[in-house]
Amino acid sequence: MSIYDFQVMTINGAEVSLKEYQNHVLLIVNVASRCGFTSQYAGLEALYQKYKNRKFSVLGFPCNQFGSQEPDTESEIKAFCHLNYRVTFPMFSKILVNGTKAHPLYRFLKSEEKGLFGTEAIKWNFTKFLVDRSGKVIKRYAPQTDPIDFSLEIEELL
């Protein structure tokens, strides 16, 4: 199994297969508009702009499980991201990342790359998963890790 086996819903309501991202290096992130780490949207967009022509993408998944920091609708989230951070990387519908109703993609990501002390649970918004061109989860980054801090790791995979 790889990430290419999953279907996701775009922020515009269209169902897509992650097979569309085969042979891409991906950074998959659970995001929120009212989080202390929300400013990381700028770094995520900078990475996307820097590497998108080399088959790299950031995939943003809004999540409201942590302190109700993403209570808005998809259209409001999309507008917020565009107006405040000029986000152009792919964004998806709100999902759950923990618990019995966690999205299957996130259940897979967490099982492939554990967090601190071997835990699977996502601790907060802006947890990041780096995925190689074959769909293998390479690394998991803590929410406080600035996206720019691992651009060398992205370059190695490109």
User: Is 119 inside any structural domain?
Assistant: yes
| Domain with 58 in it | 3-152
CATH number, residue 43? 3.40.30.10
For 1-43, the pLDDT digits (tens) are 889 999 999 999 999 999 999 999 999 999 999 888 889 999 9
Helices (H), 21-130: 40-51, 74-85, 104-112
User: Is 158 inside any structural domain?
Assistant: no
User: Is 135 inside any structural domain?
Assistant: yes
User: Is 63 inside any structural domain?
Assistant: yes
Q: Which of 3, 25, 28, 35 is catalytic?
A: 35
Task: Report the domain count for the chain.
Answer: 1
Spell out the long-range contacts of 15-18 with Cβ–Cβ below 8 A and sequence spacing 24 or more.
18/105, 18/135
User: Is 157 inside any structural domain?
Assistant: no
Residue 48, helix vs strand vs coil: helix
User: Is 73 inside any structural domain?
Assistant: yes
Residue 81 bears catalytic tag: no
Residue 149 has a pLDDT of 87
For 48-98, the pLDDT digits (tens) are 999 999 999 999 999 999 988 889 999 999 999 999 999 999 999 999 999
Q: Summarize the confidence of residues 139-153 as an average pLDDT.
A: 90
